[in-house]
Amino acid sequence: MSILWPERFEPESAPVHVRNEIDIAASCERVWAWLIRAEQWPRWYPNSHRVRFLHGNPPDLQLGARFRWRTFGVGVTSSVREFVAPVRIAWDARGLGVDAYHAWLIEPVERGCRVITEETQYGFLAILSHKLMPKRMFRGHALWLDRLQKNAARGWPPSA
């Protein structure tokens, strides 16, 4: 299984690309439920702030959902571009100096599931941040995966 990158965001041509993965001892469906419940992210992922739906049916993401949020200190607007439950989701993120594509794959493994997340970025702020702090996004996504793992191990996400 691999990410279906829009041509512009293919890792080989993007100036910024980060890939993280983790195995989680929970069902793919439970991990998926935590990942798509975007309004809850700020409660458990400290790099996510003020998630607000602009289009769609909160609290869960779905294909075509648009949301505004802050991540890595930047306000961005995202649209869900791919949504295949409980296997793959991807959204774009556009903000001042940032044009990004963030994709997630969830695949079953013997003891639960493997979660892979990759992001590519363009834009002056994205490139500058990557040059000055080359591991920042990798560490941020590692934290996201770690918190996703801890939450999925405890059970299903709250309904609101």
d(CA 25, CA 14): 33
Q: What are the structure tokens assigned to 123, written together?
A: 């834009």
**54 phi, psi to nearest 5 deg:** -105, -30
Longest dimension (CA), the chain: 42
pTM, whole model, 2 decimals?
0.95
Which stretches of the chain score pLDDT less than 70? Answer: 160
Q: What is the pLDDT of residue 160?
A: 64
Per CATH, which fold does 16-154 belong to?
Alpha-D-Glucose-1,6-Bisphosphate; Chain A, domain 4 (3.30.530)
Q: What is the pLDDT of residue 34?
A: 98
Report helix, strand or coil for 39. Answer: helix
Q: What is the DSSP letter of 159?
A: -
* Domains in the chain: boundaries: 16-154
